[in-house]
Structure 1
Amino acid sequence: MPTALITGCNRGLGYEFARQLTGQGWRVHACCRQPEKARKLKSLDPGDGELVRHRLDVTDGLQLAGLGRELADEPLDLLINNAGIFGPRGGFGKIAYEDWLQVFNVNTLAPMRVAETFARHLERAERARLLNVSSKLGSIAANETSGAHLYRSSKAALNMVTKCLSIDLQERGVIVAAVHPGHVATDMGGRDAVIAPEDSVAGLLALAGRLGPDDNGGFFAHDGTPLPW
C-alpha cells in the first residue's frame, strides 16, 4: 500500500487530497493544527488505519520533529506540502510587515522544514515524489500586475526552495516539483474561482504519478503544463 503525508488537511485542497488518495487505496497521514475539529476529515476515516490524523502546526519545529520520530520506520511515497496562508492583500504603501514574516514562515520556511524532516522517509520508497503547492502568482516571468506582495513573494521563494530541494534530494531518488493548483473554489480561492477542488486535485495527483527524472525541479500547472519561473 503506497503512503502519503499531507499538510493542511482540515479543508480545501488538503482535505481533497486526503479524500482522493484514501479512495484510491493509499494510506494517508493527514496533518492539521486541530484534528479534533476537522469533522470532514474525520468522516473520511474508514476505521482500518488507512487515514491517520496528526496534530501539526507546520511552523512548530518541535511538533514536526515529534511527528518525524513517530513515523520513523514508515516510507513515504508522496509528500505534499499543502499548508499555506494568503495573508493581508495590501499592496504598495499598505504593507503589513509583521504579517509578511508570518506568511513566509508558513508558505516558505515550513515546507523546507517538512522536507528536511521527512527526507529519510521519502528515500525509503521506491518512487518518491514531493509536491510543494505553489501558485502562478509566484511566477516572476508571468507577473503583469502588482498587489498581493506577501503571498506572491512567499510563493516565488517557495519555487526557489523547490528547485534547491530537487538538487538536494536527487541522489536519494526523490522527484521534487512545485505545482499550481489553479484558481480553485476554496476559502482562499474566493467566489470568482473557476476550478472545483476535486478537478484540481485529480489533475495534481495524475501529474505526481507521471513525474520522471526530467521533471525534477519543475513548476507545473494542475493539468501538467510547465509554468515559467
Structure 2
Amino acid sequence: MSNNILVVGATRGLGASLRALYAQDSTRHVFATSRSESAPQAEQSTTWLTGIDLTHSDVGQKLVSQIPASTKISTAIISAGYFGFESFDGPDWEKEVQMYTTSAIAPVFLVHHLVKAGLLGEASKVIFVSSESGSITLRHEKEGGGNYGHHASKAALNMVGKLLSLDLKPKGIAVGLVHPGFMRTEMTKGVGFDKYWDAGGAVTPNEAAQSLALFIDDFDINKTGEYWAPRGPGDIGTAEDVLGKGLPTPLQLPW
C-alpha cells in the first residue's frame, strides 16, 4: 500500500498539525487542502490542493481533479470544520447551514469522488474528525443545551460515517470517526471556550495530532464504522456521569 496521506482542512488547527506531523516522515507524502485559490508556502513532502471549500457543491470534483490519477491514498483525514456559537435565545440559520454542510454533507461527496476516481481502495482508511459533542448519549444536564448546529451536525457526521462504512467495507476501505480531544485552537477560543481550557484538560493541536496519528496507525477494517476518543475520557466532561468511572484509553464512544 502507498503511503500517501490526504488532510482536508490543513491550514490551521488540528489539520495543520497533522500535515506537519506526517510531512516529517520522509516515507510519506501529504496532499493538503486549502480553501484559498493560491497555495500556501511550499513544504517538503507536501502537495497543496487549493480552492477546496466544503460549502461548495463541486468540492469533490475539484479535489480529485488536483490529485494525479495514478495516486493511491492510504489515509484520508477530513478535519475541516466550522463552529458557530448559538444559544436558545440566539439560534442562527446561516451558521447552522454552514455547520451541517461542512460537517455532514460535503464528506459524502468528497469520499464518493475519491473512491470513484480510484484514489481510495483496498486497505485505505478514511478518518472523519468528529467530536464527543456529536454523541447523543453523552449529552447531560450539567452541560445544558444550546449550540444546536455544532452538536447536531457532528451527530449527523457520525451517521454519515457509519453509513459510508457499510458501503465501503466490501471494497476493503475502513472508515473511522474520532473525537481528537478538546483543543486550544482559534476555533474554540472564537466561541468563548478558552475559559474552559484549563479545567477541561484542553491540549494543543500538536498533542492531539500525535495521539490521533498513533490511533490511525492501529485502526483497520476490524474497527470500521466505530466512534472513538483516542485520548480517552479525560477531556469529556460528561464521560464519568454517563459511562461511569475507570474508563479506558482509547475510549469507544456511544452514539
The two structures have a TM-score, normalised by structure 2, of 0.81
* Letter of the structure 1 residue corresponding to residue 187 of structure 2: M
Shift of 1:165: 0.7
Residue 122 of structure 1: aligned partner: 120
1:133 pairs with 2:111: no
1:30-179 aligned at under 5 Å gives the runs 30-34=32-36, 36=38, 38=40, 42=41, 45-46=43-44, 50-55=45-50, 56-71=52-67, 72-87=69-84, 89-119=85-115, 120-123=118-121, 126-144=122-140, 145-179=144-178
In 2, distance between residues paired with 1:117 and 1:59?
Answer: 16
Say which of 200, 203, 206 aligns to 2:211.
203
Structure 2 distance, partners of 1:59, 1:92, is: 25
Preserved CA contact (<8 Å) 2:59 2:109: no
1:175 partner amino acid: A
Identity over the aligned pairs, expressed in percent? 27
Deviation of 1:137 (Å)? 0.6
Instruction: Report whether the alignment pairs 1:225 with 2:247.
Output: no
Partner-residue secondary structure (3-state), 1:93? coil
1:14-47 CA distance string (max 9 Å, x none): 1001000011231011001116474xxx36x02x
After the TM superposition, list the runs of 4 or more consecutive aligned residues in structure 1 that deviate by more than 4 angstroms: none
Contact 1:180 1:221 in 2 (8 A): yes
Query: Secondary structure, in 3 states, of the residue corresponding to 1:90?
Result: coil
Secondary structure of 1:189's aligned partner: helix
Q: CA deviation at 1:212?
A: 2.5
- Which is helix-richer, 1 or 2? 1
Name the residue aligned to 2:220.
212
Q: Hey, what does 2:29 align to over in structure 1?
A: 27
Measure the CA separation in 1 of the matches of 2:10 and 2:218: 23
Query: 1:185-217 CA distances to partner (integer Å, 9 max, x unpaired)?
Result: 111132243212111111111111111232110
Deviation per residue, 1:30-76 (Å, 9 max, x gap): 001116474xxx36x02xxx200111112223343033133222110
> 2:55–2:98: 8 Å Cα contact kept in structure 1?
no
* Inter-partner Cα distance in structure 2 for 1:131 and 1:172: 16
Rg: which structure is higher? 2
Structure 2, unaligned runs of 5 or more: 232-249
Mapped partners of 1:76, 1:64: distance in 2: 15
Q: How many residues align?
A: 219
In structure 2, C-alpha distance between the alignment counterparts of 1:86 and 1:118, rounded to whole Å: 26
Q: Does 1:4 align with 2:12?
A: no
Distance in 2, matches of 1:169 and 1:5, equals: 18
Give the secondary structure class of the aligned counterpart of 1:107: helix
| Counterpart residue identity of residue 49, structure 2 | H
CA contact (8 A) 1:201 1:222 kept: no
Query: Could you tell me how far 1:135 is from its partner in structure 2?
Result: 0.4
Structure 2: how far apart are the matches of 1:73 and 1:21? Answer: 21
Matching residue's letter, 1:137 = S
Unaligned runs of 5+ in 1: none
Q: After superposition, what is the alpha-carbon deviation per residue over 1:64-106, rounded to whole angstroms, capped at 9, x for unaligned?
A: 303313322211000011111001x222232112321121111
One-letter amino acid matched to 2:75: L
Amino acid in the other structure paired with 1:130: V
- Distance of 2:63 and 2:163 partners within structure 1: 24
RMSD, matched Cα: 1.7
Equivalent pair of 2:60/2:111 in contact (CA under 8 Å): no
